[in-house]
Amino acid sequence: MISLRLLLLAGLLLLAVNLSGQCLPAGLANPTCGTGSTVSSNSNINNGTTFNHCTANTSMTNINLNGGTLQVCGILTLSSANFNSGNIVVAKYGELIINQNVTLNNNITICNYGTLTINGTLTFQNSNNYLINAASDARMVISGTVTFSNNSNQEGYIVNRGHLQCGGMNVRDGAQYICLETGSYLGINGSLDYNISSANNVFTYGSGSSGNATIRYTGNAFLSNNSSKTITSSSRILICKATGATQSGTGGWGVPAGNISTNCGATAQPQQTGVFISCFTLPVEWLSWSATPEPGALNILWSTASEVNSSYFVVELTGGDNLLLSPPIEAAGNSHLPQYYSVKMPAAPGAYYIRIRQVDFDGQVNYSPYFTATVQESSASMVAPNPFTDALNVTAAGENIRLLLRDAQGKLLLSEQLGAGPNSISTSALAAGIYFAEIQDAGGQTMSRSKMVKQ
């Protein structure tokens, strides 16, 4: 009797959530890393276990998801992984890159709050597999085709609250629903093959009567050979056909004619105002991005093909556990011509992960993909030993090199002009603790910065 009551209560709760108009499931909670074990190559993530990755970019192989949970709060690249069952959660500001084709075998939930990239195809196989883009600023890119099973008993689900892009989509009877929340964007850079027999209206809208969601495609949309089959029954889903996109089959979109826009550009998606549909350009279309290492610095360069309502850029530089931000760089505002930008940021020797944040005048944020660079030890800035005691030995490759030493609070304690070659700087008056040594060139530019410990 108790079990029956619990089942009835669970059913009522589920009904209440459905009536709220939100896509189900809501997704796993945004993780805070630190619990469980640290994942590494050859890890077996078995039932009841939690593994996490919390550091800068690391590449791993032969990860086996066997019923446990993998939390990604840093930047993780996987290859040769097996997705048998269990959960993967990418935290906000986390990034997971999977360099292989992915098959969701059974009872798998992938929940993304940050950035998820799959450089390959994604296939739903067997039952109870969920792909969830869990936040409005979450970004998911699948380079290959997303394919659902032909078997209606092999259930696959997609929930999108952010930006989801794929190289194509094959929707079959195993697709239970593809639920799009208000403001979400589904970009299909290829064909949409809606070849179903028993299912119907697979694409659903999750937030009631206000707002809208967008589907944009670039290839051919095959809308079933059954005239009674439609993509959706929601008037809040907008269809954007890219220039050159085609349509075939006898089925339909299931949306009002005014919801369909044609000749949408590479960075466009439809926007609905009342009953009027127009195309607007996304805030920025990234053209290129790169980083050139220099002694003690990184020179970051990027360009855009177009900008709309673009206020400024900020470069985010991540090295180890440290996040460095550039000053705001003024953007072009509105431009349909290429724009070129650069900023030079001081950087100690080491590996860095870089992305560029673009901010609109209304505060909306857009990010470039991550890219990497490594700053080598400068021949003009060799500071040793570390830890040190009564002296620092600095080897300078030229004249007019300066050593600056600051305490942990940033107070300047020492500024020494160095001669070419070896230099010995007395530190006997300094207390034991943490210090920061900075080497500057003749123009006052930072060549290197390092953390030092006095014993």
Model pLDDT, residue 281: 42
Q: Say yes or no: 326 and 430 in one domain.
A: no
The CATH number for 426's domain is 2.60.40.10
Domain end marker among 313, 342, 375: 375
Q: Residue 18: is its pLDDT beyond 50?
A: no
Q: Say yes or no: 241 and 355 in one domain.
A: no
Measured between alpha carbons, how far is residue 197 from residues 106, 220, 246 in Å?
A: 23, 19, 22
Q: Place 61 in a pLDDT band, splitting at 50, 70 and 90.
A: very high
Q: Say yes or no: 399 and 427 in one domain.
A: yes
Tell me whether residue 4 is in a domain. Answer: no
Q: Say yes or no: 370 and 398 in one domain.
A: no
Q: Say yes or no: 180 and 296 in one domain.
A: no
Q: Residue 381: is its pLDDT beyond 70?
A: no
Tell me whether residue 409 is in a domain. Answer: yes
Mean pLDDT within 323-341: 87
pTM confidence score:
0.60
Tell me whether residue 3 is in a domain. Answer: no
- Among residues of the chain, what percentage have pLDDT more than 90? 32
User: pLDDT tens digit string along 142-178?
Assistant: 999 999 988 777 788 999 998 899 999 999 988 888 9
Q: Say yes or no: 103 and 141 in one domain.
A: yes
Q: Residue 80: is its pLDDT beyond 60?
A: yes
Model pLDDT, residue 157: 92
Q: Say yes or no: 371 and 388 in one domain.
A: no
Tell me whether residue 314 is in a domain. Answer: yes
Q: Say yes or no: 36 and 168 in one domain.
A: yes
Tell me whether residue 26 is in a domain. Answer: yes
Model pLDDT, residue 315: 93
Average pLDDT, whole number, for the chain?
81
Q: Say yes or no: 261 and 127 in one domain.
A: yes
Q: Residue 78: is its pLDDT beyond 90?
A: yes
Tell me whether residue 367 is in a domain. Answer: yes
Q: Place 266 in a pLDDT band, splitting at 50, 70 and 90.
A: very low
Q: Give Rg (Cα) of the chain.
A: 27
Tell me whether residue 6 is in a domain. Answer: no
Domain end marker among 237, 257, 281: 281
- The structural domain count of the chain equals 3
Model pLDDT, residue 150: 81
Higher pLDDT, 305 or 7: 305
Domain ranges, residue 293: 284-375
Highest-confidence range of 160-174, 290-304, 425-439, by mean pLDDT? 160-174
Tell me whether residue 304 is in a domain. Answer: yes
Q: Say yes or no: 78 and 158 in one domain.
A: yes
Q: Say yes or no: 272 and 300 in one domain.
A: no
Q: Say yes or no: 264 and 324 in one domain.
A: no
Highest-confidence range of 15-19, 209-213, 328-332, 357-361, by mean pLDDT? 328-332
Domain end marker among 349, 375, 401: 375
Model pLDDT, residue 101: 95
Model pLDDT, residue 277: 29
